[in-house]
């Protein structure tokens, strides 16, 4: 019983911290993009607009929930829940610190890939059940995009798995700490770049936010959604961003550890709790997401698939081969 | 307890397959099929084959079923066509039933309660089943894996050729 209570409390802590971060990521995004465009961003609600996410939440919660007359009602209603649930489950296998993770799964990385492939269904079904051309095209686009980039993502992660010799996320961090550089991003620089690009496409973010390209498709699969169901999709997208940032920090940047050559020069840094290093790495990745959104224009859809199939996947295979040779020579 | 879970899965497999086969809207059929695949993945987890469970989800639920959905969307089928199919003829039913029966008999007659060899249950548990599957697949059945890759390459090339010809 005590065990159960303990797990329950841990889950609640992780969920509330991540959701708090998600809320304030929307604020950070508006602020940073505002600054990038020489505006102030939200300023009205609270000091420097700090209460803006709460105001947004209250507003969206009390709006009318509209279901189109010709929609498949049941599927239309569960689609956002599918997206959100299959993104939130990923948090259960993420090691936030040496001893803080919800489930120490032997196949943590595969679990994340599996859940990522399931959350596509929410988007396809949202597009199909809305019974609208724009939604439908957005859903189809998103599905083909996510399926194509999942291969590149998997290949980039396969290099990490090969070098670490484990699918357990904690073991990946620990074996990473033993290497010379302390991060896999240096020997696997190709894989790292492929991973970052694929992560952007996988979460449907700019410059690959084709499913929601407003100049072509109104709002893609989100067109018919309003109020709380729209907010669920929005939440799902931001949680997915965080999951990708966690994955990047764990698989390529050393998770909660810092490289050994740094702690040899500055030994007092070892006293800093691991969760802080982890948070810094995650924040940098999230900042990159926002920075790219403020900087780069959107790709055309054929360019998107071209990059995925003709550039990223061959690069991913090349990375895998290089790592295999390194591993073979170091044995 | 474990028997209750097993009974639940047996009943739900039959029920879900029935639902998947009898839906009028093919998209609903595919969604029931998705539920079935997820149940199969959970059965693998109960058998401690976590690698197989995840691969089941990634490959079948995440890739193949999405392809099914794509096909249905592109063909734009609203309602399943009603025509005479093999499964409706009594000869067809007989052939299908007998072949299933033959498979069942073959499978059940080859079950043995004890396993002799290197890969015992305790050995698998000590090394981890992901590593063991990799070792067996690539060391003992390496040629088979290569052949399967070739077989999968053929339809890929042919699809590209078909697409080129149209354009």
Q: Which DSSP state fits A96? A: -
By residue count, chain A amounts to: 331
Work out the minimum CA distance from B111 to partner chain A, whole angstroms.
Answer: 29
Taking Cα atoms as reference points, which of A191, A150, A198 lies closest to residue A318? A191
- Measured between alpha carbons, how far is residue B45 from residues A55, A126, B52, B54, B95 in Å? 43, 29, 8, 9, 34
Q: Which DSSP state fits A8? A: H
- Residue A239 in any domain: the answer is yes
Calpha distance B10→B118 (Å, rounded): 31
- Residue A26 in any domain: the answer is no
- Residue A84 in any domain: the answer is yes
Residue B154's pLDDT band, with cuts at 50, 70 and 90, is: very high
Instruction: Check CB contact of B77 with chain A, cutoff 8 Å.
Output: no
Query: Do the beta carbons of residue A181 and residue A187 sit within 8 Å?
Result: yes
Provide the sign of the torsion angle of the four alpha carbons A30, A31, A35, A36, taken in this order.
Answer: negative
Q: B40 pLDDT exceeds 70?
A: yes
Calpha distance A197→A205 (Å, rounded): 10
Give the one of A75, A107, A125 whose C-beta lies nearest to B54's C-beta: A107
pTM of the predicted model as reported, rounded to 2 decimal places = 0.85
Calpha distance B26→B126 (Å, rounded): 45
Chain B residue with CA closest to A118: the answer is B62
Instruction: Check CB contact of B73 with chain A, cutoff 8 Å.
Output: yes
Which chain A residues are within 8 Å of B63, Cβ to Cβ? 117, 147
Provide the residue range defining the domain that includes A144. 63-330
In B81-110, the residues whose Cβ lies within 8 Å of chain A are: none
A147 with B63: Cβ contact below 8 A: yes
- Measured between alpha carbons, how far is residue A217 from residues A141, A212, B19, B36 in Å? 11, 7, 35, 34
Work out the minimum CA distance from B112 to partner chain A, whole angstroms.
Answer: 29
A124 with B66: Cβ contact below 8 A: yes
Provide the sign of the torsion angle of the four alpha carbons A247, A249, A254, A256, taken in this order.
Answer: negative
Chain A residue with CA closest to B125: the answer is A106
Q: B121 pLDDT exceeds 80?
A: no
Note the pLDDT of residue A146.
84
B122 C-beta neighbours (distance < 10 Å), count = 7
Chain A residue with CA closest to B56: the answer is A114
- Residue A3 in any domain: the answer is no
Instruction: Check CB contact of B34 with chain A, cutoff 8 Å.
Output: yes
Calpha distance A124→A138 (Å, rounded): 8
Note the pLDDT of residue A224.
76
Query: Do the beta carbons of residue A26 and residue A53 sit within 8 Å?
Result: yes
**ipTM metric:** 0.79
Note the pLDDT of residue B86.
59
Give the one of B58, B66, B69 whose C-beta lies nearest to A113's C-beta: B58
A117 with B58: Cβ contact below 8 A: yes
CA dihedral A322, A326, A328, A330 (to 10 degrees): 180
Please count the structural domains in chain A: 1
Give the one of B34, B51, B61 whose C-beta lies nearest to A107's C-beta: B51
> What would the CATH number be for the domain defined by B1-80?
1.20.120.1200
Q: pLDDT of chain A along its 331 residues, tens only?
A: 778 888 888 888 888 988 888 888 988 888 888 888 888 888 888 788 888 888 888 888 888 877 778 777 888 888 889 889 999 988 888 888 888 788 888 888 888 888 888 888 888 888 888 888 888 888 888 888 888 888 889 899 988 888 888 888 888 888 888 887 778 878 888 889 999 999 888 888 878 877 666 667 777 777 778 778 888 888 888 998 999 999 999 888 887 888 877 777 877 777 778 888 888 889 999 999 889 888 888 888 888 888 888 899 999 999 999 888 888 887 7
Degrees (nearest 5) of the Cα angle B32, B33, B34?
A: 90
Which chain B residues are within 8 Å of A76, Cβ to Cβ? none
Q: How many CB pairs under 8 A join A and B?
A: 52
Query: Do the beta carbons of residue A70 and residue A328 sit within 8 Å?
Result: no
Taking Cα atoms as reference points, which of A88, A305, A83, A80 lies closest to residue A198? A305
Residue B81's pLDDT band, with cuts at 50, 70 and 90, is: low
Q: Choose the weakest-confidence range: A147-151, A318-322, B127-131, B152-156.
A: B127-131
More confidently predicted of B14 and B117 = B14
A206: left (phi over 0), alpha (psi -120 to 50) or beta: beta
SS (H, E, C) B112-135: CCCCCCCCCHHHHHHHCHHHHHHH
A110 with B31: Cβ contact below 8 A: no
Note the pLDDT of residue A211.
67
Query: Do the beta carbons of residue A159 and residue A189 sit within 8 Å?
Result: no
């Amino acid at each position: 019983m005590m065990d159960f209570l303990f797990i329950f409390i841990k889950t609640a802590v992780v969920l509330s911290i991540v959701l708090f971060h998600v809320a304030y990521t929307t604020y950070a995004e508006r602020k940073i993009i505002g600054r990038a465009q020489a505006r102030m961003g939200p300023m009205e609600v609270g000091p420097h607009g700090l209460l803006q996410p709460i105001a947004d939440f209250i507003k969206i919660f009390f709006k009318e929930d509209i279901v189109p007359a010709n929609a498949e009602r049941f599927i239309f209603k569960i689609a956002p829940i599918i997206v959100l649930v299959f993104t939130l489950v990923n948090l259960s296998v993420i090691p936030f610190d040496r001893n803080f993770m919800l489930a120490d799964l032997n196949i943590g990385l595969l679990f994340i890939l599996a859940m990522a492939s399931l959350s596509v269904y929410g988007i396809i079904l949202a597009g199909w059940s809305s019974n609208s051309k724009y939604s439908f095209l957005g859903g189809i686009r998103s599905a083909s995009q996510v399926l194509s980039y999942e291969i590149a993502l998997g290949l980039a992660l396969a290099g990490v798995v090969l070098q670490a010799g484990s699918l357990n996320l904690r073991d990946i961090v620990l074996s990473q700490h033993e290497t010379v550089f302390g991060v896999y991003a240096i020997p696997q620089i190709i894989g790292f770049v492929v991973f970052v690009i694929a992560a952007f496409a996988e979460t449907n973010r700019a410059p690959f936010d084709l499913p929601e390209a407003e100049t072509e498709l109104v709002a893609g699969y989100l067109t018919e959604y309003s109020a709380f169901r729209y907010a669920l999709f929005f939440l799902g997208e931001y949680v997915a961003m965080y999951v990708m940032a966690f994955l990047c920090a764990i698989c390529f940047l050393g998770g909660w550890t810092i490289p050994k050559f740094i702690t040899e020069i500055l030994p007092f840094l070892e006293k800093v709790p691991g969760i802080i290093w982890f948070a810094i790495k995650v924040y940098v990745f999230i900042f990159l997401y926002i920075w790219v959104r403020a900087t780069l224009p959107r790709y055309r859809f054929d360019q998107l698939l071209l990059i995925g199939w003709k550039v990223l996947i061959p690069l991913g295979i090349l990375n895998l081969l290089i790592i295999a040779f390194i591993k073979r020579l170091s044995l | 307890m474990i028997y209750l879970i097993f009974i639940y899965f047996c009943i739900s497999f039959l029920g879900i397959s029935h639902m998947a086969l009898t839906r009028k809207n093919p998209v609903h059929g595919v969604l029931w099929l998705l539920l079935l695949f997820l149940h199969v993945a959970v059965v693998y987890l109960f058998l401690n084959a976590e690698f197989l469970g995840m691969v089941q989800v990634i490959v079948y639920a995440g890739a193949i079923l999405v392809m099914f959905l794509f096909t249905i969307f592109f063909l734009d089928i609203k309602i399943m066509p009603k025509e005479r199919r093999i499964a409706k003829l009594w000869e067809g039913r007989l052939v299908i039933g007998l072949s299933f029966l033959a498979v069942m008999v073959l499978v059940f007659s080859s079950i043995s309660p004890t396993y002799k060899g290197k890969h015992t249950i305790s050995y698998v548990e000590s090394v981890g089943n992901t590593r063991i599957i990799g070792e067996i697949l690539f060391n003992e059945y390496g040629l088979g894996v290569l052949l399967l890759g070739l077989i999968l390459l053929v339809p890929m090339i042919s699809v590209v050729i078909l697409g080129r010809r149209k354009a």
